[in-house]
Amino acid sequence: MGWSIHQKLSKHDKLLRKFVTVKYAKLTFASVAVFIAVLLLLNILLPRVHRLRRGWPYYSSKEPSRAFVLPLRFIVVFWAVALPYFLFAETRQDYLALVKRLGSVSVSMLPIVHFLALRPSPLPRMFYLQLLPLHKWLSRIFILTVIAHAILYFAIYVHLGKVRKLLITSNLCGLIACTLFIAIILTSLKPIRRRFYNLFYSVHYFTAWVSLPLIYYHARITHVYVIIAACLLAAQACYRAFTSRHIKLPVQYISPSMFFISIPREQLPRTLQKYYSPGSHVRVSNPLYHFSTWLQSSHPYTIASLPQDPQLTLVIRKTTYPIKLRRFYALTGPYSSLPVPFFEDATRGLVKRVLFVAGGTGIAFVAPIMRHLRSLGVPVRLLWAIRDANDAKVLETLGLTDCALKEKQIEIYVTGDQTARPSAKWYMPSGAEGDESLNIDVDDDCCGGGEFKPLLSKYSYHKTYTDSPDFSTIMFNSRPVLNLRIKSWLHGVPIDTNTCCCLDQLMEMGTDLDPAGRWILASGAETLVGETEKWASSNKFSFYKDEFSM
């Protein structure tokens, strides 16, 4: 017997079909919840599970941790196997059972989809940025299942000659919800999301709310999931309203395209007056009492100061989102960006060395962590790529002058055309002109770059006052390079310019150079961060990134 539409079922069989549909929706919901719990456990355990010793992995909190990377491949394989089971099991080759299952199973995923997008994440030792890829993948599976549900229903109605049934109010509600979900899929495609982030966000947020009453009215058996999802959305909105504070943001320009904002501690929301981990970010939006604000994305900015500082500092690249002096903005946060084990290790002396790679405003992420690690005696080094030499002045504001000039822990790479005059559109850099154009080179054979290149030649760096620090001595007119020089520094191997090019052989011959506890933290635009990530992984260094785009 093949697949068919079982129309004329007895009352008992109809009840059974409904029971089985509800059962598999519950099973899907429970499985996704268990799956998240397993990931949470992995996130806690895996950074401290070390290599096989006598055949067994072992857990130790006395050895340096490793960064936890979300096992996306495993997740995709798991769902490729699990989802067909939840959709097809006990359908008895009945198209009607399958189409109902597609609907109920998809809606049962909705609460977890919303849960994974909560800011901050309520899961212990996890932060929302870590969970966003999972939110994306689960949303894709959810929407594809919804679309399959709609197409199959349409086909069944056409086959049975009942297309008019689509015009019943409950079916129309389902159709509108499905159309909105398709709009989410389209606007979240990378080229559209990157170009029109606000459109992507508005469609996302509007659909998240509006789809709930539509689905509620569309199908009775999934009410419970819709109610949970609505509670999560409401809780998120209340959290944002209660933790935000409306303040003015005093803007001070460093260069035509970069400015900083310093907010006195007492003006901050209460949540930001307490301790938070260095490298966390805040979110800035228009005032929450304007309804339109809720349909627009808030703007994340990394806190460039430490929680104990009297001021909270933000370093911002001028974009299309204007920050005006006399206007009020809603400020909320903090939201962590770095895993807990990293800070635990740093306090216990398990972080051996840290290399920072930053592009432009990525310095906001680097500065507080660098200061924190220096206070703990961890050796640090920063390769910072900027377009305008004048951006370097922010190092003084961020408390990194000594670190840069006395201890020479910072190298500044000016990659923009310093002779070019600012264009008429300097006040609004486009993607290509902003931090996105900053990049890094990788050279595994040699150790050039940095101190082996001539200093910045035709720079247009102007000291603000005669007694202000002169950063031109640590500036280079090239791109930063990840090479043997950096690798040997991370391993704590002293570098000799004469033997430098033989260093790789030396390293291979030398007794094992253990990459444990040697970290690379990158922040800024996608390309720079991506290249650094590849280099870190090929050299087995622990890596963490703070990307400034979503």
Ligand X SMILES: Cc1cc2nc3c(=O)[nH]c(=O)nc-3n(C[C@H](O)[C@H](O)[C@H](O)COP(=O)(O)OP(=O)(O)OC[C@H]3O[C@@H](n4cnc5c(N)ncnc54)[C@H](O)[C@@H]3O)c2cc1C
Residue 408 CB, nearest distance to ligand X (Å)?
Answer: 25
Q: How far apart are CA 328 and CA 75, in angstroms?
A: 43
Residue closer to ligand X, measured from CB, 297 or 460:
297
Residue 270 CB, nearest distance to ligand X (Å)?
Answer: 22
Helix (H, G, I), strand (E, B) or coil at 70: coil
Residue 231 CB, nearest distance to ligand X (Å)?
Answer: 24
Residue closer to ligand X, measured from CB, 191 or 377:
191
Q: How far apart are CA 48 and CA 342, in angstroms?
A: 11
Residue closer to ligand X, measured from CB, 315 or 440:
315
Residue closer to ligand X, measured from CB, 68 or 201:
201
Residue 453 CB, nearest distance to ligand X (Å)?
Answer: 28
Residue 463 CB, nearest distance to ligand X (Å)?
Answer: 24
CA distance readout (Å), 254 to 264, 391, 395, 409: 19, 6, 10, 22
Residue 242 CB, nearest distance to ligand X (Å)?
Answer: 20
Residue closer to ligand X, measured from CB, 353 or 545:
545
Q: How far apart are CA 239 and CA 224, in angstroms?
A: 23
Q: How far apart are CA 256 and CA 428, in angstroms?
A: 9
- Provide the H-helix boundaries in 401-465: 401-405
CA distance readout (Å), 270 to 98, 134, 194: 51, 30, 33
Q: How far apart are CA 239 and CA 236, in angstroms?
A: 5
- Provide the H-helix boundaries in 339-483: 340-347, 363-375, 394-397, 401-405
What is the enclosing helix (H) or strand (E) of 353?
A: strand 353-359
Residue closer to ligand X, measured from CB, 300 or 307:
300
- φ, ψ dihedrals at 354, nearest 5°: -135, 125
Residue closer to ligand X, measured from CB, 285 or 483:
285
Residue closer to ligand X, measured from CB, 301 or 541:
301
Angle, CA of 249, 252 and 256, to the nearest 5°: 125
Residue 281 CB, nearest distance to ligand X (Å)?
Answer: 5
CA distance readout (Å), 85 to 18, 20, 22, 449: 17, 13, 15, 55
Question: What is the contact surface with ligand X in residues (CB under 6 A)?
Answer: 194, 197-198, 281, 297-302, 315-317, 319-321, 337, 361, 364, 546, 548-550
Residue closer to ligand X, measured from CB, 50 or 299:
299
Tokens of 31: 């499985």
Residue 315 CB, nearest distance to ligand X (Å)?
Answer: 6
Cβ contacts of 431-436, under 8 Å, gap ≥ 24: 433/257, 433/387, 434/257, 434/317, 434/319, 434/360, 434/525, 435/317, 435/359, 435/360, 435/361, 435/362, 435/387, 435/524, 435/525, 435/548, 436/525, 436/526, 436/527
- Whether the CB-CB separation of 488 and 333 falls below 8 Å is answered with no
Residue 421 CB, nearest distance to ligand X (Å)?
Answer: 23
